[in-house]
Amino acid sequence: MKDILRNKWFKFSVALLVALLMIIWIGNYWLILGLPILFDVYISKKVHWAFWKKKGVKKQSAAVEWIDAIIFAVVAATIIRMFFIEAYTIPTSSMEKSLLVGDYLFVSKVAYGPKIPNTPLSFPFAHHTMPGTTQTKSYLEWINWPYKRLAGINEIKRNDVVVFNFPAGDTIIVGQENPDYYSRIRGIANSVKASDMQKGRELQNDEAYKKMARKYLAENNEIRSRPVDKRENYIKRCVAMPGDTISSIDGQVYINGKKQDKIEEMQFRYQIRTNGSLINPRKLEEMNITKTEIGQSGSIYEMPLSEAKAAKLAKLSNVSSIVKMTYNVGAPEDVFPFSDHYNWNRDNFGPLVIPKKGQTVKLNLETLPLYERVINAYEENSLSVKDSTIYINGKPADTYTFAMNYYWMMGDNRHMSADSRYWGYVPEDHVVGKASFIWLSLDKNKSAFEKIRWDRIFKWIH
């Protein structure tokens, strides 16, 4: 048996089989031209591929063996990370308490099919910035491949927890990425417009104010663009699928007219009033409510709670009232689609139809804000409006047919999540993978071994 495993033809056959299966999976049959290299590595050995080793020497030095092991590990880990599974950390509270800050996850790339990277020339294990730097790119754009997704085990399902590239992250202000570039544009434009109104100046149209804001940011900051695969990774729950109609009334989400499936750990912001005494901090700690989440003014508290925890707090003898805080209908907020035609906010929005591949919608000045970014940014068409007429790629258009599927993603911590309500749909080419399970969880507010949340280790994500 040992002789078979050491046989060069056996090794070559196994490597050839694996290579052919990968080529079929990737679907790029030009890669077959590389098979002679595989033959030379195992059989003919005409080229000295392992140039760091001394040719013909059976016993290599310790340094060479270390280099050999490191190169193998980097190549293997890169392939695994690119095509199969990738580690991810929960950085913010947007998914609490379903996922906690400090949870370390494995994200399955094969669940929905791995994406071929848009920018394959990049530093191993770095996302968009070189390790140890804050601004140096970790990738080169000499090669820029179009979107292609390999075959996966499943398709995205409603309520899956999904990792994706940030849709509004195509343009960034270097060193000031939060809030995103487009939020900054709207904020500056609205401030200038308000100043003109206050000082009695002649008002201009919204696009003129946005143009001023873009110019101001460009003159005072470094502005960069990022390819899809190098945008920030976000994690949210897929609430609505392509073709679904979504709406929200006082925080209750409806999908196709029916209430969203119940999510046990979903949170909203609550106001709690006591009879004048303070809530026992130990009671809050037992419910996994951290000090950083609590806002307090005397005997009035504000904190994110699930329905179950709100009901539990309401039973405390010194709690006189507990009320879920929601944005009323018409309360102004900077939410998608950022238009005067839609007076929406985080708790009251819709109905809104999620774009589906092959679906055709009517276009006019009222519906355009819903699909403008899809047409222009995600599906790369030129878009303009002249004399109330919409032009796509230079031609008048009153309809548009979508080329991709889109999804509506929301955090489970509904009042503390920057999600689709603030930047719109997630295109299918931005989807990275499915959050599968937690392999480690650390509580930054504790020390030593107390930091480890033992009850969350190797926990599957639902």
State pLDDT tens for residues 142-168. Answer: 999 999 999 999 999 999 999 999 999
pLDDT of 55 reads 73
Counting beta carbons within 10 angstroms of the beta carbon of residue 147, is it exposed (0 to 12), middle (13 to 18) or buried (19 or more)? middle
What's the chain's length in residues? 462
pLDDT of 272 reads 95
Question: Can you list the residues of the chain whose pLDDT is less than 50?
Answer: none
Strand order in the sheet with 252-255: 258-259, 252-255, 245-249, 349-353
Q: Which two structure tokens, joined as six digits, stand for 109? A: 């790339």
Is the CB of residue 162 less than 8 Å from the CB of residue 235?
yes
Is the CB of residue 302 less than 8 Å from the CB of residue 245?
no
Smallest Cα–Cα separation from 116: which of 31, 179, 194? 31
pLDDT of 208 reads 92
Which positions ≥6 away from 21 have C-beta within 8 Å?
none
Smallest Cα–Cα separation from 122: which of 146, 144, 135, 140? 140
Element (H, E) at 2: helix 2-6
CA 286 – CA 308 distance, rounded (Å): 13
pLDDT of 2 reads 67
Beta-ladder partners of 437: 106, 460
Q: What values do phi and psi take at 42, rounded to 5?
A: -95, -30
- Secondary structure of 274-320 as H, E, C letters: ECCCCCCHHHHHHCCCCHHHCEEECCEEEEEECHHHHHHHHCCCCEE
**HSE of 184 in the Cβ direction (CA atoms, 13 Å)?**
21
| pTM, full prediction | 0.92
The structural domains of the chain, ordered by start, are 2-49 (no CATH), 256-324 (3.30.70), 360-401 (no CATH)
Distance of CA 4 to the CA centre of its chain: 47
pLDDT of 87 reads 93
Is the CB of residue 374 less than 8 Å from the CB of residue 401?
no
Three-state DSSP class for 433?
strand
- C-alpha pair distances (Å), 223 with each of 122, 219, 234, 404, 422: 21, 9, 21, 28, 21
